[in-house]
Amino acid sequence: MTNALEVRGITKRFGRLTAVDDVSFTVLPGQIMGFIGPNGAGKTTTMRICSTLEMPDRGDVLVDGQSVIEEPRLARQRIGFMPDSYGAYANTTIVDYLDFFARAYGVRGERRRATLERVIEFTSLGDLREKEIDALSKGMKQRLCLAKTLLHDPAVMILDEPAAGLDPRARVELRELVKALAQMGKAILVSSHILTELSEMCTSVTVIERGKVRGTGSVADVVRSVKPRTRIYVRVLCELELAERTLLERPRVTDARREREGLTFDFEGTNEELAALLEQLVAEKLGLFEFTPEALNLEDIFLTLTEGKLQ
């Protein structure tokens, strides 16, 4: 499958600060890539370069096969960029706002009318179409920004903190819209500080810190690239202090701690070694009645791959 978004070794400096340092990754059609990193990591600068709003000092980005350096106008036609904040004209209704941008995108005549109806229906803004933008809630404003981003039917969607400031229901609704766009075959690059939100919709991830990529690929591939570690939750009938001491005496067991009604610990070993550990714990007669491996999530990946240092 051809890459919809291909970032090729881009570097961007601002004075003596290297904001983006030889960053490379790819996003396929229908893929949702979570772009995660601490504040100041270079996420927004990278996304602005991908959206033709910044030029890299080195490297290139191909958007649906078009170079943002050699053919920025053609690349721009294939990009839908949703920034973390956007301006809106006062006293403008939803339909007028969308109509203005449809005209700016060169959508004409009957096609423009059909396009407006399509994006309004997709984002569920039909009942609010004559409402002025200033009167919209934060969630509805995000839906409107997404609708504007979809007017020219881009192949690549770049979403910078789309869930920032939304209440739980609005986040769920936005997440479902993003999933629906991926099912339509659009490649989606989305950044967020809400890692649980990303983990529920992303099929791949790129971790960036201090301008450098720390890990990229499918979630499963990035997990495998991290130091092999399985988190286990156990419940026992014996005293938790005895179970905790028994666990910490075992090789490859680290960070045993009490959690909820049992214990959580990290195990650094193979599946065969984990099975042997389970047999040993049963033999200890601790009254073991729950032994649940928990997969690494995006928060674990983020904390493992980054150091928390700022530029």
Q: Residues 222-233: pLDDT tens digits?
A: 876 765 578 899
Write down the domain spans for the chain: 5-224, 230-295
**What are the φ/ψ torsions at residue 152 (nearest 5 degrees)?**
-100, 15
Q: How many CA atoms lie within 13 A of 26 on its CB side?
A: 10
- pLDDT at position 228, please? 59
Compute the average pLDDT of residues 186-209: 87
Q: Which of 60-64, 81-85, 87-91 has the highest mean pLDDT?
A: 60-64
Neighbours of 68 (CB within 10 A): 25
User: What are the tokens at 132?
Assistant: 């002025």
77: part of which helix (H) or strand (E)?
Answer: none
Helix 138-150 to helix 109-122 angle (10° resolution) is: 140
Contact, 192 vs 162, CB < 8 A? yes
DSSP string, 126-166: GGGTTSBGGGS-HHHHHHHHHHHHHTT--SEEEEESTTTT-
93 DSSP assignment: B
pLDDT band of residue 89 (cuts 50, 70, 90) is: confident
pLDDT tens digit sequence for 16-50: 999 999 999 999 999 999 999 888 889 999 999 99
> CATH for 230-295?
3.30.70
Residue-wise pLDDT for 101-112, tens only, equals: 999 999 999 999
pLDDT of amino acid 146: 93
In our burial notation (b when 16+ CB lie closer than 10 A, e otherwise), range 20-33 reads: bbebebbbbbbbbb
Superfamily the domain 5-224 falls into: P-loop containing nucleotide triphosphate hydrolases (3.40.50.300)
Token pair in block for residue 194: 């809400």
Encode pLDDT of 236-256 as tens digits: 999 999 999 999 999 989 888
- Residue for token pair 């959206």: 51
In which band, very low, low, confident or very high, does the pLDDT at 85 lie, cut at 50, 70 and 90?
confident
**pLDDT, mean of residues 6-24:** 96
| The pLDDT of residue 63 is above 80 | yes
Residue 18 has which token pair?
A: 């290297």
